[in-house]
Structures are given as C-alpha cells and as structure tokens.
A and B are shown apart, each in its own frame.
Chain A
Amino acid sequence: MIRLEAIYWLMGLMVGGVAIVNALDSRSHTRWRNTIFWGVYAVIFLLGTRLGDFTNGVLVLLMVATASFGLSSSTRESATAEHRIFSAERWGNRLFVPVLVVPVATFLGSLLLGRVSIGGTPLVDPKQVTQIALGVATVLALLTALVMLRPPIHAPIVEARRLMDSVGWAAVLPQSLAALGVLFASAGVGKIIATLATTYLPLGTPTAAVAAYAVGMALFTIIMGNAFAAFPVMTAGIGLPLVVQQYHGDVVIVTAIGMLSGFCGTLMTPMAANFNIVPAALLELRDRYGVIKAQVPTALMLLAVNIALLTYFAYPR
C-alpha cells in the first residue's frame, strides 16, 4: 500500500537535492546557511517519523535559527532571456502540457486511486488519497517535461533550488503555524478568547449577537490563521448559546455563514501563511504583506455582506 510516507521520501530527496546544489554554489554568500536549512528539512522528511519528538523539535529549532541569520536566493537565472524567448517560440502552447498534467492527474488520481485494490489491500492509503495523487501527479508531470523538453539532467534539481530558495523560510512557515496551533490548543488559548469575547463584545440584541458572532469569527481567525480553529470556539461561545438558543436563530444559516465570516479573516492575516505569505514569496513580491493588502477591501466588504445576510435570514420572521 502506498502511504503518505512514500511522498515524504520524495520530498526529502528533492529538498536534499536543493541542499546539495546550495552546497556546491561557491558564489552564494549564504552558502552554508542555505545548505543547513534545506539539509535539516530533508532529514525531517526522510527520518522524521523515526526520530523522537524531541529530536525533531531540536532540528526545527536549528532550522529556525539558521533562517533567522538570513538565507538568500540565487540571483542567477539558469537560462538567458534570449534562450527562453527562442524556446517559447519553438515549443508554443505545448509548453503548457507538463504544467496542466499536475491538476488533471491530481484530480483523476484522487477519483481513481482510492478505488484500486490489489488482493484486497487498497493500492493507496484511503485517508490520504488527494495528497498521494498530488505527489504522483508531480512525478508524471516532471517525466512529461523531461521527455518533451530534454533539458540537461541536473535541470530539475537546479530549477527546484532556484524556486525553493526564492520562497526561502516561508516554505516551512505553514508547518510551524500548524505546530503553534497545537500549542495554543493545549494551552487553552481558545477558551480564554471565548470568555473574553462573551465578556466584552456587545451581545444585547439579536442583531448585535449575530454581528458579534461574525466579527468574532473573523477576528479569532486572524489570530489563529485558520477558520477551522476559530469555529468550534466561537460557535460554542456565542453562536449556539446566544444566537441559536437565546434568540432562536436558524442553526444551519448561522453556522454556514459563520464559517464564511471566518474565511474573511483568513484573507487578512499573515497567520494563514500558505494563502498569504507563501504566495508573496512565490511571486517574489517585495512587500511580504502585499497579498494581504490586496485582499483586505474584499474581505471587509464580504464580512459586511455576511453580517447583513445573518441579520436578515437567521431569525424567524
């Protein structure tokens, strides 16, 4: 049975390759820092399951320390602009094929892989079909690109290094935030916030209660970076006891739109790193908060819409 572990090995090999390319680059002025950062990350992918929790924790701290001293991205482009323009003309729209293999194969894989079983054992772990499908799809796409474009044999890893280094430490931020969420949860941060919210938010009328619930969902999501973390806390604190039970709001409408109010918060917070910080790095924006700034007006207007929808539809008339 193919488990997620197999995909982690693939990641480990790729990130390890990124470390090696960095180690070989004598012109980089943060040569060894980049090497340590990606090298340790590779170890976490290859051996993370076998190392103890504490060892993993120390490895993560080592990565954080290295990143705090500063990493740099490789400034050299691997191909000249002329080469790229020439090649773009030569290949035309066929260039899109390897890229489109990724979503198409991921989609088909997540539909089909889950149904295949050999001798009664499922081919892939049924709980992780989508992630495994994505991993398999990227391998297929890379093979397509290699067969079609015939780049030098080291090109995939050199190019992976160029892109991974331009994302830099932001690449591991989502994982650190997930870890932070776990520590927040075990420290009871959610309960404290719910208490504060019910104590200090105005909840005197039905309208105020739905508004406080929606705004509370957005604010808590901004803090936690994740509407899924905010939802149980805010709904147990305000949504169910006040809006639904005391003022007789419709539970389906309240919770559905409550969750969507949380998503408005997701658009506005650096804590939702994989949606807001990672793309800024991936698109090489100079302003790390550029994506958030572009989204704030939409998020605020949508939050207002959600509050209006709740006010109008949530209560029986």
Chain B
Amino acid sequence: MLPLIGILIVIVGFALRLNALLVVTLAGLATGLASGQSLHDVIAAFGHAFVESRYVAIVWLVLPVIGVVERSGLKERAREVIGRIRAATAGRVLLVYLALRQITAALGLVSLGGHAQMVRPLVAPMAEGAADNAHGPLAESTRERIKAMAAGADNVGVFFGEDVFVAIGSILLIRGFLEQNGILVEPLHLARWAIPTAIAAFVIHGTRLLLLDRRLRRESATAAADMEDALETSETFRQGSATT
C-alpha cells in the first residue's frame, strides 16, 4: 500500500493547485523511496526516464515557425478569413475542425493536427474571429471558453478517430497484450469496434459545440441588456443630480 503515497501527493498537489512540475517530481521521489529504493537510485531512475522521453518535446520545434508567422499577422489573417464567411460561428468552425481531425485520424493521419501546430495558430483564432464577428467584442471569460473548446475539439477528434485506424499504437497494444495471454485477435476487428464510440463522440461533442453558439448568443444578449441598463441608470442619475 505504501507506494500509493505518490498518488496521494499528486491528488492533493493538483487539488491545491501547487506547481504541477514540483508535485509530480515529489510524487515520483516519494513513490521510489516508498518502494525501498535508495535516494541515489530514485534520482537516477527519474533522470533516465526523463531523458528517454525527450521525444514528447519535439513538438516544440514548431514554435519558431509559428512565432515568426504570428509576428507577421497570422492570427489576424485567420480571423479575417473566417470573418468573411457569413455562416461561420465559433461552434460551426470548431465542428468542422472536429470532423476533419476525426476523419484524418481515422485514416492514420494523426500528425495533421495538434495544439502547437494547428489549434494555437489557426483553429482558436478562427473560432474567436467568428464569435467576434457575430457577437461583437467578447468578454475575457467567453474568449477563454472558446479557446478551451478549441483544444477539446482537437483532443476528442484525435482520441476517438485514431482507434478506427488499424495500425495505431493503442490497437497494437491491445493485440500485443492479448497475444501474451494466448488470445489472437485481428486488428481490423478491434478497429471496427471503435466505430460506434467514434460516432457517439462526434455526435456528443458536436452537439456541445453547437450549444456553445447558443450560449454565446445568450451571453451577448445579456451583455447588451446590461449595457443598456447601465446607460439608463447613469442617465437617470444625471437627470436626478441636475434637478437637485
């Protein structure tokens, strides 16, 4: 039971919103020590695993490109393009991206999307631009909501698209695991059973994206009403102060 101390540290640390990097490192050290390894060995194991997983950081190599093009007005252009399409709303833009991400992932083209490559430079600004266009200047919380939904569309699309493709890591993992247990299965059969969930994911998340539009309309209506109220109040106030 003692090695579970790491999980406890992670839960408490994330709940208290401590620096996640610190929380994860402490949890790792505690787990290692609790399982009876020496501090030297635990640090070495942590260092080894950190260096071995450098490949997950390769995606950052795209940042100089994105930065240089952003400097030349990439986001502004992305908003402008979407602004010209009258039917575009934040929800519909994200729905189209969700569909593209899911379909391409299902064909094995997982590297066609991503948060650094697509969401920050293109998808999020386009969704924001569409919302700006339809509802005027947005509140900061609304902007955050749209960006978060843009990131979510990428995740849902890739997670529930890629398993339809036979040669993806998770299908191979399932097959390999079952093989070790003496059960042989066809990757194609596994992939086929990913289809119902893929459809459900599209319907559920797609509906939520369209509901986002409704929420934006409602929010902008209340914001406009608030603005009118505020104007009226200040008007009454001014009249009041003029008569006294």
Contacts and interface: CB of A to CB of B under 8 A. Distances in A.
B120 A56 contact: no
Contacts of A141: 62, 65
A130 interface: yes
A160 B65 CA distance: 8
A99 B66 contact: yes
A240 B45 CA distance: 32
B61 A151 contact: no
Nearest to B75: A84
Given A68-B19, A142-B68, A305-B197, A103 B117 contact: yes
Given A102-B65, A103-B113, A298 B76 contact: no
B50 A179 contact: yes
21 contacts: A57-B46, A58-B43, A60-B47, A88-B72, A93-B77, A96-B122, A131-B55, A134-B58, A156-B65, A163-B67, A175-B54, A178-B50, A178-B53, A184-B6, A186-B32, A189-B3, A231-B170, A231-B173, A260-B163, A298-B205, A302-B200
Interface of B: 1, 3-4, 6-7, 10, 14, 17, 19-22, 24-25, 27-28, 31-32, 34-35, 37, 40, 42-78, 80-81, 109, 111-122, 124, 140, 144-145, 147-152, 154-156, 159-160, 163, 169-170, 173-174, 177-178, 181, 183, 185-186, 189-191, 193-194, 196-197, 200-201, 204-205, 208
Contact of A162 (B67, B74, B117): B67
Interface string A145-170: 11001010001111110111001011
A182 B144 CA distance: 34
Contact of B160 (A48, A263, A285): A263
B76 to A, nearest CB: 4
A128 interface: yes
A60 B25 contact: yes
B120 A267 contact: no
Nearest to B198: A260
B61 A298 contact: no
Contact of A106 (B52, B111, B177): B111
A176 interface: yes
Given A99-B121, A182-B49, 6 more contacts: A88-B73, A180-B31, A256-B191, A263-B160, A277-B20, A305-B204
A279 B50 contact: no
A98 B119 contact: no
A49 interface: yes
B133 to A, nearest CB: 16
Contacts of B186: 252
A29 to B, nearest CB: 18
A160 to B, nearest CB: 4
Interface string A171-190: 11111111111111011110
Interface residues of A, number: 140
Contacts of B190: 252, 255-256
A85 interface: yes
Given A93-B77, A96-B77, A110-B111, A163 B47 contact: no
Contact of A54 (B40, B52, B185): B40
A275 B3 CA distance: 26
A67 B21 contact: yes
Contacts of B20: 169-170, 173, 270, 273, 277, 288
Nearest to B119: A279
Contacts of B52: 178
Interface stretch (A115-123, A204-212, A289-297): A289-297
Contacts of B37: 186
Residue from A86, A173, A286 with most neighbouring chain B CB atoms (10 Å): A173
Contact of A178 (B31, B56, B111): B56
B155 to A, nearest CB: 5
A279 B60 contact: no
Interface in A28-82: 44-45, 48-49, 52-61, 63-64, 67-68, 78-79
A76 to B, nearest CB: 12
Contacts of A60: 25, 46-47, 50
Contacts of B50: 44, 56-57, 60, 175-176, 178-179
Nearest to B189: A252
Contacts of A96: 74, 77-78, 122
A138 B48 contact: no
B74 to A, nearest CB: 5
Contact of B54 (A11, A169, A251): A11
A88 B34 CA distance: 57
B54 to A, nearest CB: 6
A163 B63 contact: yes
Contact of A290 (B45, B72, B144): B144
B182 to A, nearest CB: 10
Given A103-B117, A157-B64, A173-B21, A252 B185 contact: yes
A112 interface: no
A25 interface: no
